[in-house]
Structure 1
Amino acid sequence: MITVFTPTYNRGYIIKQLYDSLILQSYKDFEWLVIDDGSTDDTEELFKSFIAEQKLNIHYLKIENGGKHRAINKGVILAQGKYFFIVDSDDYLHNNALERIYFYTKQIEDDKTFAGVCGLKIYPNGRKVGGEANYKILDTDSISFREKYRVKGDMAEVFETDILKNYPFPEFENEKFISEGIVWSRIAHKYKLRYFNEPIYICDYLEDGLTRSIRKYHRNSPKGTMLFYNEMIRQKRNGLKKRLIAAVNYWRYTIKYKGERAGELAPIGWSYCCYPLGLLFYYMDIRKK
């Protein structure tokens, strides 16, 4: 069984398009696990109506607002599926998405070097997120996928639930954001994914989404941001350019942080040379704001 997992916050106005796309799935052995991250709109009432229709196997839980990463941690614990597929509340799926996921997971299910599979995200107009990529199937880890094969853009990752249980998202008190990339990179040290060049996931980056407000989320969660960029800097498999950009962003988003920078949050020695650029970008962000 596949767990389609959706963390949601105040998306009652649009989440029905995902619900409708799940009803139309050609592969039926899945659950829809939804963690409502403290919505104040009509999301709860909407899901009561979805559940009453009995068209899908829905598990809905409303929790106190704590951010997407906490919702994912909770979802991984509750998931009943062997595979865990995060689908955001403002996105939806091709009718055969879960069928294609099942097809590729069956190919690698006995190979313990794989953490899962990964398809394409596309815009509603059919264009691939990040631009086109020239491959049919790639068996590689997520770091090599970016650095060696130069593939850009968000992807539709599907991980084994039991593997995700071993890689929970770090949680810092009073912070509600940390990049998903921190966990995907940690998994990449040990496991690979089967990347298949087929569109399964349709997305559009809305004004109220994480992507459009990523700078604000980084600034408001400095500990998670420092940890994320420090791990990028230390990862020597990342190219020099990416590591330099990570060092600049370490300072860019946390330059106003007054707390202690110690242990895994402490700046990497050479990253101090990127402080001036971080300061410059910080002021540019403030000016744009």
Structure 2
Amino acid sequence: MEKNYVITVITPTYNRAHTLNRVYESLQKQSFKRFRWIIMDDGSTDSTSQLVHRYKNENIIPIEYYKGKNRHKFITVFEGIKKVKTPYFVIIDSDDSWPEDSFEILYQEVSKIKNQDQYIGVIGHSADTEGNLIGNLFPGNGFTGSILEMRYKYQVKGDKNGIFITKSYLRELDKFDYSIYENKGYIPQNVFFTTYDSLGLKTKFINKVIRIYHKDDDDSASVSNTRWKGKNIFGLREGYKAMLNNYSYQLFSYPKTLLRNLIGFQFYSFLNKKSLASNISSIKNPIIKLMSVFTLPFSYAYYLKNKHS
């Protein structure tokens, strides 16, 4: 009889046959077994398909494998999420590993949430391969609130990850047109998560390590090593714009964050050769729009100093 699966694992991958075993071995070791694995191949030209075929033949984990053209991770992940049929899902990058009790911890925590329509998921911490926490802990024993509060009220730094509630996530994703980012290079996650976080969907933050981050400094295929280059500057502009437009008036509680995002948006607008009119019209909030006029000289001076760095 087929297991009663409750979690779907989504792994976007592009030419990562040399690291995908890390994920596979990590999944086999999970103490919680009620999960499926969706591998979204973003047009790999290496031996990824043969590797996944071997995984499927081993029949240890139920695997769905989809290979399409190269569309970049931002879009590929969303295409994978739309295939989820379980109540919950996690996103595991193609070069990550997760501690053996990660799924068990996350499922226990998300199962405690009564009014799940008001929540997007449960987020925990990442550690490096030596076991050191990346960033810092959430306040107290963890808290329930927004990503904006987590980052800027409580000043929590570091890479975080967790489990998402499928129904809530898909409800917001159905409203979001990500097709406009086709062939646009790297797009930061906040372009989407600021949309639901700003609406008041809650996140439960727990002080548990649920992900192991592998830096892979010498890996030219790693997004972490390429996101600041070339056409990816388009996505960086979109990230700053999303912060300004989605959080809007909420940012007035965090003036330094507001100013930093405004200057960042203008800096990457200059790098993208956007016109002054385009810069101003892209901002929805009238007060922030007015502020952009006054910060423009500072942003331009910063651009002149740093455009070749």
Q: Same fold (TM over 0.5)?
A: yes
CA distance in 2, matches of 1:111, 1:232: 22
Offset at residue 273 of structure 1 (A)? 3.2
| Greater Cα shift, 266-275 or 145-154 | 266-275
SS of the counterpart of 1:197? strand
Residues 1:47 and 2:60 are matched in the alignment: no
Offset at residue 183 of structure 1 (A)? 2.1
Offset at residue 283 of structure 1 (A)? 4.7
- 1:96-135 equivalences in 2 (<5 Å): 96-135=101-140
Structure 1 unmatched ranges of 5 or more: none
Query: Using a 3 Å threshold, how does the CA distance of structure 1 residues 284 and 133 change in structure 2: closer, same or farther?
Result: farther
Choose from 184, 187, 190 the match for 1:181. 190
Query: Using a 3 Å threshold, how does the CA distance of structure 1 residues 235 and 47 change in structure 2: closer, same or farther?
Result: farther
* CA-based RMSD: 2.5
Offset at residue 71 of structure 1 (A)? 0.8
Which residue of structure 1 lines up, in the alignment, with residue 224 of structure 2?
Answer: 211
- 1:226-245 equivalences in 2 (<5 Å): 227-231=241-245, 234-237=248-251, 239-245=254-260
Q: CA contact under 8 A between 1:175 and 1:224: conserved in structure 2?
A: no
Q: Which amino acid aligns with 2:159?
A: D
Q: Which amino acid aligns with 2:179?
A: E
Which residue of structure 1 lines up, in the alignment, with residue 282 of structure 2?
Answer: 265
Q: CA contact under 8 A between 1:113 and 1:192: conserved in structure 2?
A: yes
| Greater Cα shift, 155-164 or 16-25 | 155-164
Q: CA contact under 8 A between 1:31 and 1:58: conserved in structure 2?
A: yes
Q: Percent sequence identity over matched residues?
A: 25
Q: Which amino acid aligns with 1:211?
A: S
Choose from 86, 95, 120 the match for 1:90. 95
Residues 1:171 and 2:192 are matched in the alignment: no
1:235-269 superposed Cα distances (whole Å, 9 cap, x missing partner): 52461111111111112222143467289735833
Residues 1:63 and 2:68 are matched in the alignment: yes
CA distance in 2, matches of 1:223, 1:78: 29
Query: Using a 3 Å threshold, how does the CA distance of structure 1 residues 174 and 263 change in structure 2: closer, same or farther?
Result: farther
Residues 1:247 and 2:247 are matched in the alignment: no
Tell me how many residue pairs correspond in the alignment.
288
Query: Using a 3 Å threshold, how does the CA distance of structure 1 residues 106 and 52 change in structure 2: closer, same or farther?
Result: same
Offset at residue 286 of structure 1 (A)? 4.3
Offset at residue 110 of structure 1 (A)? 4.1
Which residue of structure 1 lines up, in the alignment, with residue 142 of structure 2?
Answer: 137
CA distance in 1, matches of 2:55, 2:281: 44
Q: CA contact under 8 A between 2:96 and 2:214: conserved in structure 1?
A: yes
Q: Which amino acid aligns with 2:225?
A: R
Which residue of structure 2 lines up, in the alignment, with residue 197 of structure 1?
Answer: 207
Offset at residue 210 of structure 1 (A)? 2.6
Structure 2 unmatched ranges of 5 or more: 1-5
Q: Which amino acid aligns with 1:179?
A: P
Query: Using a 3 Å threshold, how does the CA distance of structure 1 residues 254 and 171 change in structure 2: closer, same or farther?
Result: farther
Query: Using a 3 Å threshold, how does the CA distance of structure 1 residues 243 and 115 change in structure 2: closer, same or farther?
Result: same
| Greater Cα shift, 5-14 or 106-115 | 106-115
SS of the counterpart of 2:25? helix
Residues 1:20 and 2:25 are matched in the alignment: yes
1:182-235 superposed Cα distances (whole Å, 9 cap, x missing partner): 322222222111111010100123344333333226414477346424326725
Q: Which amino acid aligns with 2:110?
A: T
Normalised to the residue count of structure 2, the TM-score between the two structures is 0.84
Q: CA contact under 8 A between 1:205 and 1:212: conserved in structure 2?
A: no
Q: CA contact under 8 A between 1:114 and 1:192: conserved in structure 2?
A: yes
SS of the counterpart of 1:73? helix
Which residue of structure 1 lines up, in the alignment, with residue 3 of structure 2?
Answer: none
Larger Rg: 2
